[in-house]
């Protein structure tokens, strides 16, 4: 098993030290759950390098004023770390023998992904996760932000899923990333269309057409969605199209590392999946879907 989606800092923390002892603790907890390798994948927007490149993307006539103000505050709170230091710390953890790969979680920025790709080319990343956490700066998954959550009461659920899926398709087509993280994240607040098959088909086809892996994540069980990402119907479509998988907890703190990895293993095995996909310098390789830890 893998845990290919790990964060060092909760979103409530602005101070962002990178500490080798924390990385070692993550690896030990993962090993105890039968995970052979972890990827540290901090959000790109937490780094000053992204701030200088992307700040103000929310200044768009499509974005209501309250959401613009909310995003500006959110961005300023988070964009405090140094990407160079983060990269060097992860590489040092590897030099010390820890089973880590260097990753990053990269959000979709409409019309700006070429600039993002140029920034990332300067670093020796092993794996890049592609995510859609906002649509036109509406942070639909920020459960603690009143302005963002209020939007759910005013928007049509089908339209929200359609806008999210379109953004995910556009992100996949840029091939800036290697893995689609939590591919049906739009369900996070528990808002689902009556017939999600149309969007499941499009998400699965976007992954397959662009030769991307898809993440199977336990994080949805810790949210109002109440299930893994992706839903079983989407997971089956991805498997049928031959899309490779990673597994992940999307942990932001130690106690969630490798969360419910056994359940993810069983789910994949039931679909006939016996291998996962790992990455080195953005090149894929296979990893056995191992038995339960003894």
CATH number at residue 265: 3.20.20.140
139 three-class SS = coil
Sign, Cα dihedral of 231, 236, 237, 243:
positive
In the predicted model, is pLDDT for residue 207 greater than 70? Answer: yes
Q: What is the pLDDT of residue 18?
A: 79
Q: Find the angle CA(122)-CA(123)-CA(127) to the nearest 5 degrees.
A: 130
**Burial label, 291 (beta-carbon count in 10 A; 0-12, 13-18, 19+):** exposed
Residue ranges making up the domain that contains 146: 2-288
pTM (2 d.p.): 0.96
Residue 258 pLDDT > 60, yes or no?
yes
Is residue 190 in some structural domain?
yes
Give the separation between CA 209 and CA 292, rounded to whole angstroms: 33
User: Is residue 284 included in any domain, yes or no?
Assistant: yes
Average pLDDT for the chain = 95
Residues making up the chain, counted from first to last: 294
In tens, the pLDDT along 19-53 reads 899 999 999 999 999 999 999 999 999 999 999 99
**The pair of three-digit structure tokens given for residue 41, joined into one six-digit string:** 């994948």
Q: Is residue 177 domain-resident?
A: yes
Check: CB of residue 125 under 8 Å from CB of residue 102: yes
What pLDDT is stored for residue 166 in this prediction?
Answer: 98
Residue 62: the pLDDT is: 85
% of the chain residues with pLDDT over 70: 99
Mean of pLDDT values over 79-89: 95
> The tokens 């924390």 sit on which residue?
22
Q: Is residue 293 part of a domain?
A: no
Average pLDDT over residues 259-269: 96
Strand partners of residue 127: 103
Determine the pLDDT at residue 294: 41
Confidence class for position 102, pLDDT limits 50, 70, 90: very high
Count of the separate structural domains present in the chain: 1
294 within some domain: no
């Amino acid at each position: 098993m893998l845990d290919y989606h790990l964060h060092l800092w909760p979103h409530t923390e602005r101070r962002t030290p990178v500490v080798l002892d924390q990385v070692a603790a993550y690896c030990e907890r993962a090993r105890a759950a039968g995970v052979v390798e972890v990827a540290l994948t901090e959000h790109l927007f937490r780094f000053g390098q992204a701030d200088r490149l992307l700040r103000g993307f929310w200044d768009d006539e499509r974005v209501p004023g309250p959401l613009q103000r909310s995003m500006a505050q959110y961005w300023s709170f988070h964009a405090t770390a140094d990407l160079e230091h983060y990269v060097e710390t992860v590489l040092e953890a590897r030099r010390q023998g820890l089973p880590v790969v260097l990753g990053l979680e990269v959000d979709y920025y409409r019309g700006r992904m070429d600039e993002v790709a140029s920034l990332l080319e300067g670093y020796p990343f092993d794996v890049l996760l592609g995510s859609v956490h906002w649509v036109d700066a509406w942070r639909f998954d920020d459960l603690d932000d009143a302005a963002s959550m209020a939007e759910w009461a005013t928007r049509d659920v089908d339209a929200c899923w359609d806008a999210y899926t379109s953004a995910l398709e556009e992100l996949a087509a840029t091939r800036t990333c290697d893995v689609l993280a939590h591919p049906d994240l739009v369900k996070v607040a528990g808002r689902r269309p009556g017939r999600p098959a149309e969007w499941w088909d499009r998400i699965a086809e976007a992954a397959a057409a662009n030769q991307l892996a898809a993440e199977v994540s336990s994080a949805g069980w810790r949210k109002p969605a109440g299930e893994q990402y992706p839903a079983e119907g989407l997971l089956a479509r991805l498997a049928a199209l031959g899309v490779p998988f990673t597994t992940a907890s999307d942990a932001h703190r130690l106690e969630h590392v490798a969360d419910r990895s056994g359940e993810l293993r069983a789910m994949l095995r039931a679909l006939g999946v016996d291998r996962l996909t790992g990455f080195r310098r953005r090149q894929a390789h296979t990893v056995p879907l191992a038995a339960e830890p003894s």
